[in-house]
Amino acid sequence: MMIKVENLCQTFGNKKAVDNLSFTVDKGQVLGLIGPNGAGKSTTMRMIAGYLRPASGRASLCGIDVWSNPIEAKNRLGYLPESAPLFDDLTVNEFLLYLGTIRGMGKTELMNACDRVADLCFLGEVRHQLIDTLSKGYRHRTCLAQSILHDPPVIIFDEPTDGLDPNQKEEIRNLINHFRQNKAVILSTHILEEVSAVCTDILLIDQGKKIFEGTPSAFKALTPSYGNLLICCRKPIREEIRKNLSSLNVVKSVKWSENVPAQLIIVPAELAAEGVEHLTREIIDCCRHYKTGVLEIRRDEGSLEKVFRAQTGHRTRKCIERI
């Protein structure tokens, strides 16, 4: 296992920032670490990266304990913190050469590595430019380049697309998909569309505790309306249609869409893809029988955002109740 976290705990004063957290990430996985502000995401990543000693528990990278053998563990890690430091009086190339030298990389190896990361991070045109003169996007790419200079098997990114424009975000996502082929990646982000785009797995934490661990599709399936069918017709739907559809064995309930008489919401039983197709045909036939044309039948595929709010919105609700 490339990343293994066991019973990790951290406290700051009386506050438990990370509470008995355990998970694993293997090669080919991109784990989206999500949670509200103050959930313990950055603290967790700092402990895995060896920058913060845990109160208890352990973390290992490629089977090497982060605290028993920190140098060996960190040699296998590429870490991009949310606000990575840069040396403004160096050029991009000088900065990369400096960090590679600190890592003990040989001259030929380092020159080849600088060429590789400059290409990967689209730094070619600013490679010999002072960092102080770079735009925010290029500064961010330079930080990213330093984290992968030594081609580590484990990568941790904290908010890697924060403040970037849509084109730059897409470049970073493509890079993460590239790394996924032969590395283990942890990605912390507040942007849930990013999770859908690049993550194979999700770990949701709140108040330092694990709330959910699984695939994005399993997370979406927690949406209360997941799997419901919305029927949109050309004209108001007759009561006879609703009654006929309600009588089907595979239908739990049929209700009117709020304030839209030309729409129905069908709550089906759990169905395989073939069952959904068969139910769709029955809906169309029923509406046709009553001379009501169907414009659209749309299945609710779930929403990361809705589930996130449902699982972590308790603190917001408590604050509102106190107002």
User: Do both 156 and 98 map to the same domain?
Assistant: yes
Q: Are residues 238 and 139 in the same domain?
A: no
DSSP readout, 227-265? T-EEEEESSPPPHHHHHHHHTSTTEEEEEEPTT-TTEEE
Domain contains 309: no
Is residue 272 situated within a structural domain? Answer: yes
Task: Give a yes or no: residue 312 inside a domain.
Answer: no
For residue 284, what are the CA distances in angstroms to 117, 179, 234? 55, 45, 12
Dihedral sign of CA atoms 79, 85, 87, 88 in order: positive
CATH code for position 271 = 3.30.70.100
Same domain, 274 and 190: no
In a domain, residue 128? The reply is yes
**pLDDT given for residue 161 in this prediction:** 85
Instruction: Please state, for a pLDDT cut of 70, what percent of the chain lies above it.
Output: 97
* Run of H or E including 297: strand 294-299
Name the one residue in this structure whose structure tokens are 């029927």: 231
d(CA 204, CA 223): 15
pLDDT of residue 315: 55
Rg, C-alpha atoms of the chain: 25
Q: What is the pLDDT of residues 71-119, one digit of tens each?
A: 999 999 999 988 778 999 999 999 999 999 999 999 999 999 999 999 9
Q: Which two tokens stand for residue 303?
A: 């929403």
Same domain, 132 and 250: no
How far, in Å, CA of 3 to CA of 153, rounded?
A: 10
Residue with tokens 């960090």: 99
Q: What is the CATH number of the domain that holds 170?
A: 3.40.50.300
- H or E segment to which residue 95 belongs: helix 92-102
For residue 276, the enclosing domain spans 229-299
224 in any annotated domain: no
Whether residues 52 and 188 share a domain: the answer is yes
307 within a domain of the structure (yes/no): no
- pLDDT tens-digit map of 243-274: 999 999 999 999 988 778 899 999 998 878 88
- Whether 286 is in a domain gets the answer yes
Same domain, 136 and 255: no
Average pLDDT over the chain, rounded to an integer: 92
- 286 vs 247: CA distance, rounded Å: 12
Tokens 């304030």: give the residue.
Answer: 259
pTM: 0.88
Amino acid at position 312, single letter = T
320: in domain:
no
Residues 6+ apart with CB under 8 A from 239: none
Q: State how far the Cα of 91 lies from the Cα of 71, in Å rounded to an integer.
A: 27
Q: Are residues 94 and 152 in the same domain?
A: yes
Q: Do 33 and 124 belong to one domain?
A: yes
Name residue 297's amino acid. I
Residue 322: exposed, middle, or buried by beta-carbon count in 10 A (0-12, 13-18, 19+)?
A: exposed
> 279 and 166: one domain?
no
Q: What's the number of domains the chain is made of? A: 2
**Domain match, 109 and 178 both:** yes
| 52 and 190 together in one domain | yes
Statement to judge: residues 105 and 162 lie in one domain = yes
Q: Which tens digits make up the pLDDT trace of 175-211?
A: 999 999 999 999 998 889 889 999 999 999 999 999 9
